[in-house]
Amino acid sequence: MILEGDELIREKAVKIGIELLSSRSAKRMVVVLQRNPEDEQTFALPDYSLLLAKKLQSLGLQKDQFIIIGVPTNHPITLTL
């Protein structure tokens, strides 16, 4: 399953993703985040991807169950299955 957000991902989307992984309806979670330019970083969150990865692991996900992809805001991507 793919969770696509702006520079942050919503908690409800993550919870639904974890439920899909737990029920084996999905094999892996892909989180796509738009990265802000260096001069427009989110205050107090210098490395949101790392923080997100640690949080997903603290919720019981293994490293091989998710991947976090950062894309620039001026060239975002949309993933389809």
Per residue in 43-70, pLDDT (tens digit) is 777 788 899 999 999 999 999 999 998 8
Which is it for the CA torsion 19, 21, 25, 26, positive or negative? positive
> Is 77 within the bounds of a domain?
no
Query: What's the rounded Cα separation, in Å, for the pair 46 and 49?
Result: 9
What pLDDT score was predicted for residue 58?
96
> Is 16 within the bounds of a domain?
yes
Q: What is the DSSP string of 10-25?
A: -HHHHHHHHHHHHTTS
Model confidence at 76, in pLDDT bands (50, 70, 90)?
low
> Is 79 within the bounds of a domain?
no
What pLDDT score was predicted for residue 38?
72
Q: Whole domain around residue 60: which residue ranges?
A: 2-72
> Is 29 within the bounds of a domain?
yes
For residue 14, what are the contacts with CB-CB under 8 A and spacing of at least 6? 3, 56, 59
Per residue in 3-37, pLDDT (tens digit) is 776 667 889 999 999 999 999 999 999 998 887 77
